[in-house]
Structure 1
Amino acid sequence: MSNLNDNVVALMREVAAREIMPRFRALADSDIEEKSKGDLVTIADRASELWLTPRLEALVAGSHVLGEEAAAADPALLDRLSDDKALWTVDPVDGTGNFVAGRETFGVMVSLVEKGETTHAWIYLPVADEFAIAERGAGAFWMSGGETGRLMSGRAAPATADQSASFYVRFMPDEWRAGIEKHAEGIGRRESTLCSAVDYTSVARGRHDFVTYYRMLPWDHVPGTLILREAGGVVRDIETGLDYSPRTLKGPHLVARDEESWQSTAESIRALRAHL
């Protein structure tokens, strides 16, 4: 790995050891707030983002951080996406609801975007001490137990009844929600981890077939998209057919482990939508 990768990995491990894991299953009621109905934030989220921000900016001259919690306080920070300056996206604790509930399905996500294109991405799962890492054009890798191996999402395509998928339709327009829910009826295993860090890495590892999303906030989707693409997967708008980019904030998106499965699943969802 490059020095940049090594440095970011070290920072993510350190912030988890300092600010996240000591609070896991040890949060007081006063450590948890609701930003909006059903959208939780904890002292771990805020402390992690505050700790990471200056350290990431120091790694790349002139760069800025777009963090989930800073953007929640000041939505105008999303305008940084349209700037060509180097931009870090940070999700300090992805899967906060799981973290609050004491479930292990949470992670830390970081990416580097340059001139609107994602060049580097990192997803860290602190409980397992595992990383997914990607650099544009250089592949995606999985680090676990001191071993590093290349991530490849492709495998023999299972029958629909044997597929595993996550369907997030909370923000979907009604017509897309209906088509997706109808398609979901034929899927063998449906699960919602409520954690992008887990969903993207599961698809990139060939353990999950696809995921649907509508709200595409950058800290939730930029890191996982690069990792999955470098592993052979696809993240694309079902309606427009356009690949996801960091400046895309919404749209019915399908995350799939390869081109063939993206095409067949998107075709099914479109057809069902048209007949409902």
Structure 2
Amino acid sequence: MPTLTENVAALMREVAAREIMPRFRALAEGDVEEKSKGDLVTIADRASEIWLTPRLEALVAGSHVLGEEAAAADPALLERLSDDKALWTVDPVDGTGNFVAGRETFGVMIALVEKGMTTHAWIYLPVTDEIAIAERGAGAFWTSEGMATRLLSGRAAPAITDQSASFYVRFMPDDWKGPIERHASGIGRKESTLCSAVDYTSVARGRHDFVTYYRMLPWDHAPGTLILCEAGGVVRDIETGLDYTPRILKGPHLIARDEESWQRTAESIRALRAHL
């Protein structure tokens, strides 16, 4: 009998085959809308979430889905985070802007949250048919070309000029945006994929050093946080020093591949902020 992990992975592959990949680089006029300025949604996002919702809820008795598109239509659904019922967070197409532009950097993200803590997580990259899966306390695994390997994000900490990082400061308050941008000026390689699915899996695979975020919506961060933390990484608020949980909706958060990298980078940003 398939496990919960296997069932969800199968659903992600099926929804990608049914609703996402047939529309990739084939969106018709009227298939893309703007929810708010610069925030796009496509028919693939909505159809995928609608298809996934009843199937996920059927896997865990009494569970509910908190999907990005449903919450965009009814923000009151975010209140589901505050109760202890099993909750699925769903980002049906993470990186929608990339999907619309025909770029391959997009994914499907799902997490199971129980009593406010993420217990299971999945990130699926449909173009390459690669998936990251984690269960709390049981590690994180990356499957590519049918081969599963354990994710371990840590390696010898590189010098700042050799680091690779992404800095998302669009929603940052000015007193954090400035210091982060100043710290970023010394980083060796900066890249913004505009896709949490890619950012988190890149850090978890040891290919990226850190990322900064302010807006911490659960469908964007609950899956990646568990996967990265099970791989040895850290997702923590720079100001409070508190680890991320799905009930936290804003930052500033620093995502790093290991504790040493997190501490070193957070200290640098805090010091720059103190000299404002």
TM-score in same-fold range (> 0.5): yes
Q: Deviation at 1:29? A: 2.3
Q: Please name the residue that 1:105 is paired with.
A: 105
Q: Please name the residue that 2:205 is paired with.
A: 205
Q: Please name the residue that 1:255 is paired with.
A: 255
CA distance in 1, matches of 2:105, 2:92: 14
Summarize the alignment of residues 1-276 of structure 1 with structure 2, pairs less than 5 Å apart: 3-276=3-276
CA distance in 2, matches of 1:270, 1:259: 16
Provide the aligned C-alpha RMSD in A: 0.8
Give the 3-state SS of the residue equivalent to 2:248 in structure 1: coil
Residues 241-261 of structure 1 show CA distances to partners (whole Å, capped at 9, x for unaligned) of 000000000010000000000
Residues 120-161 of structure 1 show CA distances to partners (whole Å, capped at 9, x for unaligned) of 000000000000000000000001111000000001111100
The residue identity in structure 2 corresponding to 1:188 is G
The residue identity in structure 1 corresponding to 2:239 is E
Show structure 1 runs of 5+ residues with no match: none
Residues 180-209 of structure 1 show CA distances to partners (whole Å, capped at 9, x for unaligned) of 000000000000000000000000000000
Q: Could you state the TM-score of these two structures normalised by the residue count of structure 2?
A: 0.99
CA distance in 1, matches of 2:83, 2:93: 25
Q: Deviation at 1:2? A: 6.5
Q: Could you state the TM-score of these two structures normalised by the residue count of structure 1?
A: 0.99
CA distance in 2, matches of 1:108, 1:227: 14
Q: Percent identity?
A: 87
Between Structure 1 and Structure 2, how many residues are aligned?
276
CA distance in 1, matches of 2:275, 2:132: 39
Q: Runs (4+) of structure 1 moved beyond 2 Å?
A: none
Residues 75-130 of structure 1 show CA distances to partners (whole Å, capped at 9, x for unaligned) of 00000000100000000000000000000000000000000010000000000000
CA distance in 1, matches of 2:104, 2:144: 16
Give the 3-state SS of the residue equivalent to 2:72 in structure 1: helix
